[in-house]
Amino acid sequence: MIIAVGSTNPVKINAAQIGFAKIFPETEIIIKHAEVDSGVFEQPWGEDVIRGAINRAKNILTQIKDADFGVGLEGGLEQNGFGYFTYGWAAIVNQNDQIGLGKSVDLQVPKKIVDLIRLENLEMGHALDKLLGTTNIKQKQGYIGYVTNDLITRTDAYVGAIICAMARFIKPEFFTN
């Protein structure tokens, strides 16, 4: 089975490998990947996070035409009445243009991080690197790994989102109209 991931971020590629291996344990999983345009701002908010994931999943299938599934993963932020939260969306698209969506865990983000993102127009990973003195945290454990002492890493969060997005294809009878 060929899985095309719309990113060169090793966290996202690894999450796809792990997630699909869990879903299809008896199948050889081949991961192909390339950077594709998300069509949203570098630091998306709200529904733009979902749009970015869908765009990545669809765009990668135009580049890697022999893939069984295209995978788009997009991290983002939202504000609600309880504060600021970060999460990731997974979009899985098959060759019939069916889309499965899954969301990772939500994690509260301190206002000081959001202020830095907004003030300096930074993507969250770059804001964290600046604030924490890290280098490329988004391609390592991510914010979630940092604040949970790696009990849950960014890879873990995306694996869950991928499995949830694949529910549409695991149990298609529940998703028919």
Q: Are the C-beta atoms of residues 116 and 122 closer than 8 Å to each other?
A: yes
Which residues have CB under 8 Å from 47's CB, separation 6+? none
Quote the pLDDT of residue 175.
Answer: 87
pLDDT tens for the chain, 177 residues: list them. 999 999 999 999 999 999 999 999 999 999 999 999 999 999 999 999 999 999 999 999 999 999 999 999 999 999 999 999 999 999 999 999 999 999 999 999 999 999 999 999 999 999 999 999 999 999 999 999 999 999 999 999 999 999 999 999 999 999 886
DSSP secondary structure letters along 64-130: -TT-SEEEEEEEEEEEETTEEEEEEEEEEEETT--EEEEE---EEE-HHHHHHHHHHT--HHHHHHH
Model pTM?
0.95
Quote the pLDDT of residue 177.
Answer: 65
DSSP secondary structure letters along 1-70: -EEEES---HHHHHHHHHHHHHHSTTS--EEEE-----SS-SS-BTHHHHHHHHHHHHHHHHH-TT-SEE
Which residues have CB under 8 Å from 166's CB, separation 6+? 19, 20, 23, 92, 100, 102
* CA distance linking residue 139 with residue 59, whole number of Å: 21
Quote the pLDDT of residue 141.
Answer: 93
Q: Are the C-beta atoms of residues 4 and 16 closer than 8 Å to each other?
A: no
Q: Among candidates 84, 56, 101, which has minimal Cα distance to 143?
A: 84
Q: Are the C-beta atoms of residues 22 and 163 closer than 8 Å to each other?
A: yes
Quote the pLDDT of residue 73.
Answer: 98
